[in-house]
Amino acid sequence: MKSKDEDGWFHTSDMGYYDDKGIIFTVDRIKDVIKSNCANAIFPSELEAVLMSHPGVADAAVTRVNHPLYLKAPKAFVVKRDPNLTKVELLEYFNEKAAKNEMLHGGLEYIDVIPRTGLGKLLKCILAQQH
């Protein structure tokens, strides 16, 4: 099995782009992209960045869950920095900054810690199984 294709590309299942200087930017993993019936694609990393921009959030991860209306929908798991941060407050903040088709229709859940590998990669499969 070859690690690179005939054009010299190494296939990693990462999504990204490169700019006019040839610098490559990784956006998300293909397997993590959420496809619902109301949007082309929802990128969890973008939603995580919105959540992390709130000063009361210490960590966040977004996964896809089954949804009766949207088929698949994003669900957020959040570790609070501010113990007084309410779901209503965080959702209002999120909804002001996220696109209309990126709403957290799968819900928002506060947890104590986001599971990660030793290298810091999110273990979304554990979140999906436990919650």
Domain count across the chain: 1
- Range(s) of the domain holding residue 119: 31-130
> Could you list the pLDDT tens digit for every one of the 131 residues in the chain?
456 778 877 666 565 667 888 877 665 565 566 566 666 788 888 999 999 999 999 999 999 888 888 788 899 999 999 999 999 999 999 999 998 888 999 999 999 999 998 988 888 888 877 66
CA distances from 56 to 4, 14, 81 (A): 43, 30, 5
Asked, for residue 40, whether it belongs to a domain, the answer is yes
**For residues 12 and 6, is the Cβ–Cβ distance under 8 A?**
no
- CATH number of the domain that 84 lies in? 3.30.300.30
| Residue 44: HSE in the Cβ half-sphere, 13 Å Cα cutoff | 24
Question: What CA–CA distances, in Å, run from 25 to 3, 21, 22, 40, 63?
Answer: 20, 11, 10, 21, 21
72 in any annotated domain: yes
Q: How far is it, in rounded angstroms, from Cα 42 to Cα 39? A: 7
In a domain, 61, yes or no: yes
- Judge whether 86 lies within some domain: yes
Instruction: Give every CB contact of residue 20 below 8 A, 6+ residues apart in sequence.
Output: none
CA-CA distances (angstroms) from residue 94 to 50, 61, 109? Answer: 6, 14, 14
Question: What is the end-to-end Cα distance of the chain in Å, rounded?
Answer: 37
